[in-house]
Amino acid sequence: SVLQLVYPYDFRLTEKEKTSICYLSFPDSYSGGLGDTQFSFRLRQSGGQRTTHYEDDGEYNREAPLTLQRESAHYFGYVYFRQVKDSSMKRGYFQKSLVLVSRLPYVNLFQSLLQLIAPEYFDKLEPCLEAVCNEIDQWPPPVPGHTLNLPVMGVVIQVRIPSRVDKPGSSPVKQCNQENLLPAPMVLPSIHELDLFRCFQPVLIHIQMLWELMLLGEPMVVMAPSPTVSSEMVLALTSCLAPLRYCCDYRPYFTIHDSEFKEYTTRTQAPPNIVVGVTNPFFIKTLQHWPHILRVGELKMSGDLPKQVKVKKLAKLKTLDTKPGIYTAYKTFLHKDKTLIKRLLKGIQRKRPSEVQSALLRRHLLELTQSFIIPLEHYIASLMPLQRAITPWKNPPQIRPFRQEDFMKTLEHAGPQLTCVLKGDWLGLYRRFFRSPNFEGWYRQRHKEMTQKLEALHLEAICEANIVAWMKDKSEVEIVDLVLKLREKLVRARCQHLPVKEETLQRIGLYIETIIGSLPEDLQAVLHHH
């Protein structure tokens, strides 16, 4: 496969990235099917950081949900692949892909966009892309909480960008500003949420197990008949912890030509914490030593509960003809939830639309994650120093360390059993979770937020303090030291966008001026210059 065209022309890709994108844009095992398919991949960026097109990365990432942040070290690729009969070609058919590369995980938006552009592009080629890119250049930036109208090729796509302050599990706000739009917009209910019910069809009775494997960041291979099934299953799996962020690596579609192939297939070390989606049967042999392998067939929506795969021993993995199943020795910590399956079955009997079933499934997973995470949130909040310990002229006290055993003790009276009916070994699940990258990522994020909150409270305390009284018995050295410290705090508050009121920062700025004004002129000059 050849990379024929990169548009816009100034978009810089390293040779390694170009090669990877070429391989990832085509199915790597021949499927006789003609026609169009769509799938996604995720690619490690090679060759150092590059400046992104957007300067407001920080602002977007602060306001977007953790699960929708712009990636700094990976690209997402969204592919529209076409295979048609063509007697003039040596193989008898022609294959082409149009790939959209972005750092944003907006799978629905970008795949919908490709459905509009790709058929035109295969027809009219480069001029079509030029016209489309000119339109996309005019789009407003994605601001969390805003509804955007995005005109392209005579259609207006309307979509809301989720925000971190949205209530988890709340349905997207109904879009309202449609009256003045002609033609009527194509409204996307969600920018990124997949049809979970369709994706998880063959494994509905194992949702609990899959949720646990994701929570613990276990290495997992998804073997699928096509890149479409593989990428949808991997994205569905990694999304099932929301609002907790899945902090491990994942590859919705992975080929044997990938630069990380050796790293993942080596037997000299344990498999990495990653979910990887593959379609080439060759992987059955090379990834046999992985602890969890999910083999799925083609997804067919049918009127009744699709055939559910069975959990099987890893030894049953046959190199050539492997039947669908979850090949693992894993034993779940929690007992199965029969009510979910009953509800979904009832939905199938009543011919409920797939999106209703997906909403049920998503709510179940959300409640499960929240039951697990709320005790952790309560405990970590208790590590914050008391407000009265924060005094203006001392450095703020430290956040107390996270002690796993202390946390475990809180579970007796405030554990998941308060919000979740599921019985099982919750303690064992927490212990194992502490060893996973997801705990690490969650803790780092919370610790950072708490540190910033402390800084902010300290600034508020300084703002309320009586500086003149404090200065009475202080030496010049101490006063100059205070000026430098306050200045540094102000700079940090602005750079890190601490959660502080603007007036607080302005008042501290005035304090600094007042203090400098009370010093001898030679010092004033030095400090103003400084």
3-class SS letters over 64-108: CCHHHCCCCCEEEEEEEEEEEECCCCCCCEEEEEEEEEECCCCHH
Pinpoint the alpha helices (H) of 395-497. Answer: 404-414, 426-433, 437-464, 467-471, 476-495
My answer on whether 417 and 368 are in the same domain is: yes
**Sheet strands (E) in 88-173:** 93-102, 147-152, 155-160
My answer on whether 406 and 504 are in the same domain is: no
My answer on whether 123 and 27 are in the same domain is: yes
Q: Could you give the CA distance from residue 339 to residue 345 in angstroms, rounded to a whole number?
A: 10
Q: Which two tokens stand for residue 152?
A: 């392209």
| 385 CB neighbour count, 10 Å cutoff | 15
Using DSSP, state whether 328 is helix, strand or coil.
Answer: strand
Q: How many domains does the chain have?
A: 3
My answer on whether 321 and 418 are in the same domain is: yes
Q: So what's the pLDDT on residue 181?
A: 59
The model's pLDDT over 1-40, given as tens digits with 9 standing for 90+, comes to: 566 777 777 778 888 888 888 889 988 766 666 678 999 9
My answer on whether 272 and 341 are in the same domain is: yes
Boundaries of domain holding 23: 15-139
Query: Looking at the domain assignment, is residue 180 inside a domain?
Result: no
Q: Could you give the CA distance from residue 233 to residue 239 in angstroms, rounded to a whole number?
A: 10
Q: Could you give the CA distance from residue 63 to residue 241 in angstroms, rounded to a whole number?
A: 19
Query: Looking at the domain assignment, is residue 421 inside a domain?
Result: yes
Q: Could you give the CA distance from residue 83 to residue 32 in angstroms, rounded to a whole number?
A: 9
Query: Looking at the domain assignment, is residue 506 inside a domain?
Result: yes
Q: So what's the pLDDT on residue 1?
A: 58
Q: Could you give the CA distance from residue 405 to residue 256 in angstroms, rounded to a whole number?
A: 44
Query: Looking at the domain assignment, is residue 376 inside a domain?
Result: yes
**Residue after which a domain boundary falls, among 108, 139, 170:** 139
The Cβ-side half-sphere exposure at 386, using a 13 Å CA radius, reads: 2
3-state helix, strand, coil in the chain (%, to 5): 45, 15, 40
Q: So what's the pLDDT on residue 14?
A: 85
Q: Enter the pTM of the model.
A: 0.89
Q: So what's the pLDDT on residue 52?
A: 52
**Sheet strands (E) in 1-73:** 35-44
How large is the angle between the packed helices 404-414 and 354-381, nearest 10 degrees? 120
The one-letter code for the residue type at 319 is T
Query: Looking at the domain assignment, is residue 84 inside a domain?
Result: yes
The one-letter code for the residue type at 385 is P
Q: So what's the pLDDT on residue 113?
A: 94
**Residue after which a domain boundary falls, among 139, 155, 178:** 139
My answer on whether 249 and 132 are in the same domain is: no
Query: Looking at the domain assignment, is residue 204 inside a domain?
Result: yes
DSSP string computed for 284-326: HHHTTTSSEEEE-------SSPPPPPPEE-GGG--SS-PPSEE
Q: How open is the CA angle 377-383-389, to the nearest 5 degrees?
A: 135
My answer on whether 241 and 389 are in the same domain is: yes
Q: So what's the pLDDT on residue 6?
A: 75
My answer on whether 311 and 428 are in the same domain is: yes
Q: Could you give the CA distance from residue 14 to residue 325 in angstroms, rounded to a whole number?
A: 39
Query: Looking at the domain assignment, is residue 472 inside a domain?
Result: yes
What is the CATH number for 338?
Answer: 3.40.50.11500
Give the residue among 477, 476, 512, 473 at the shortest CA–CA distance from 491.
512
Question: With b meaning 16 or more CB within 10 Å and e meaning fewer, what string describes 252-274?
Answer: bbbbeebebeeebbeeeeebbbb
Positions in the chain whose pLDDT score sits under 70: 1-3, 29-34, 48-57, 169-183, 300-304, 318-321, 530
Question: With b meaning 16 or more CB within 10 Å and e meaning fewer, what string describes 467-486?
Answer: beeeeeeeeeeebbebbeeb
Strand bridging mode 311-312 / 220-223: unpaired
Query: Looking at the domain assignment, is residue 1 inside a domain?
Result: no
My answer on whether 129 and 250 are in the same domain is: no
Q: Could you give the CA distance from residue 379 to residue 411 in angstroms, rounded to a whole number?
A: 10
Q: Could you give the CA distance from residue 374 to residue 446 in angstroms, rounded to a whole number?
A: 13
My answer on whether 249 and 373 are in the same domain is: yes
Q: So what's the pLDDT on residue 319?
A: 62
My answer on whether 284 and 318 are in the same domain is: yes
**Residue after which a domain boundary falls, among 444, 477, 506:** 444
The Cβ-side half-sphere exposure at 432, using a 13 Å CA radius, reads: 18
My answer on whether 329 and 363 are in the same domain is: yes
